[in-house]
């Protein structure tokens, strides 16, 4: 069978399984100890990992993020990462399987965009080696500069959320860095939302039936970060920029009456229309 090409812009939310970690990574100082409760315990929870697949009539198939490497928990990730942020997923939660459910392969993708280069968002870049999309991967210039600096200055393969083999030394992969927010078409825009990382990008999509959708990626992990008051995550490059980006997301939400899709929100995840069975259009 072949994928039936949509006749208008369509958005699929791609499930990549789940990540388990301390709640405090997503909500800074969560359950903080106090004088009255000096031994307030850490809390462990599970959050979803997602990407987007967008069909846009002029651009074709646009993939947003590639998830974690398929061998992340089999030795590809260092032990520290496997213990701090273990993945919980099935074979169905891999990028290749999710694309195949829609009768697509990496070769069918016309444009690949990485919202940032952290290990749970850029782990399958190697699949696009030599493909049309792989020859001009869109990423923010500040992101690629920071990721390369961090990984080449460190003695470890993993530093500050960046897994060096994910994006360094891959034959047939080229980057097409952008400097700021960019409109790719009348109904698809990349929004620079720095803070979580130097070049985190959000994705704003205007749909005929479902209105405006803004994927915040990890600029806003979940609705809890919106507050009030605004609460940061514990994984950040610049706290001031992160707070400003959260404010920008809130402004865009009001401006467009937009539906926000957060990077790692379990409560929202249970209500999302997930690929391959459903979509937004």
Cα 220 to chain centroid, rounded: 10
Which of the four pLDDT bands, split at 50, 70 and 90, describes residue 1?
A: low
Is the CB of residue 68 less than 8 Å from the CB of residue 123?
A: yes
Q: DSSP label at 29?
A: T
Name the domain count of the chain.
1
Residue 2 counted as domain residue: no
Nearest by Cα to 49 from 102, 110, 119: 119
Is the CB of residue 189 less than 8 Å from the CB of residue 183?
A: yes
Mean pLDDT of 38-57: 96
pLDDT given at position 57:
97
pLDDT at 94 over 90: yes
Calpha distance 175→173 (Å, rounded): 7
Which of the four pLDDT bands, split at 50, 70 and 90, describes residue 199?
A: very high
Residue 256 counted as domain residue: yes
Residue 279 counted as domain residue: no
Q: What is the mean pLDDT of the chain?
A: 96
pLDDT given at position 155:
84
Percent of the chain with pLDDT over 70: 99
Residue 5 counted as domain residue: no
Residue 253 counted as domain residue: yes
Residue 199 counted as domain residue: yes
Tokens 């009030």, located at residue:
228
Residue 83 counted as domain residue: yes
Nearest by Cα to 72 from 92, 88, 51: 88
Q: How far is CA 269 from CA 47, 218, 247, 272, 274, in A?
A: 9, 14, 22, 5, 9
pLDDT at 22 over 60: yes
pLDDT given at position 29:
86
CATH number at residue 140: 3.60.15.10
pLDDT at 64 over 70: yes
Query: Over the stretch 178-188, which tens digit does the pLDDT of each residue have?
Result: 999 999 999 99
pLDDT given at position 127:
98
pLDDT at 31 over 90: no
pLDDT given at position 213:
98
Q: Which two tokens stand for residue 218?
A: 């990890």
Mean pLDDT of 69-96: 97
**β 188-192/201-207 pair status:** antiparallel
Residue 280 counted as domain residue: no
Mean pLDDT of 129-143: 98
Enclosing domain of residue 95: 10-27+45-269
């Amino acid at each position: 069978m072949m994928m039936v090409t949509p006749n208008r812009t369509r958005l699929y939310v791609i499930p990549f399984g789940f990540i388990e970690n301390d709640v405090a990574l997503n909500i800074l100082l969560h359950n903080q100890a106090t004088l009255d409760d000096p031994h307030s315990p850490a809390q462990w929870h599970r959050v979803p990992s997602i990407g987007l697949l967008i069909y846009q009539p002029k651009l074709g198939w646009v993939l947003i993020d590639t998830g974690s490497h398929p061998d992340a928990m089999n030795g590809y990730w260092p032990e520290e990462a496997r213990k701090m942020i273990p993945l919980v997923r099935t074979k169905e939660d891999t990028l290749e399987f999710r694309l195949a459910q829609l009768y697509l392969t990496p070769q069918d993708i016309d444009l690949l965009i990485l919202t940032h280069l952290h290990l749970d968002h850029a782990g399958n870049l190697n699949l696009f080696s030599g493909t049309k999309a792989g020859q001009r991967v869109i990423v923010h210039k500040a992101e690629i500069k920071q990721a390369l600096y961090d990984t080449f200055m460190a003695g470890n393969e993993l530093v500050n959320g960046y897994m060096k083999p994910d994006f360094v030394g891959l034959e047939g992969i080229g980057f097409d860095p952008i400097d700021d927010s960019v409109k790719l078409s009348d109904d698809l825009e990349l929004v620079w939302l720095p803070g979580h990382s130097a070049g985190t990008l959000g994705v704003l999509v205007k749909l005929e039936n479902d209105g405006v959708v803004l994927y915040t990626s990890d600029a806003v992990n979940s609705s809890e970060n919106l507050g009030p008051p605004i609460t940061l995550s514990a994984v950040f490059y610049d706290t001031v920029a992160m707070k400003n980006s959260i404010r920008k997301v809130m402004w865009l939400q009001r401006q467009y009456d937009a539906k926000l899709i957060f990077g790692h929100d379990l409560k929202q995840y249970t209500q999302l229309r997930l690929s391959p069975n459903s979509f937004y259009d």
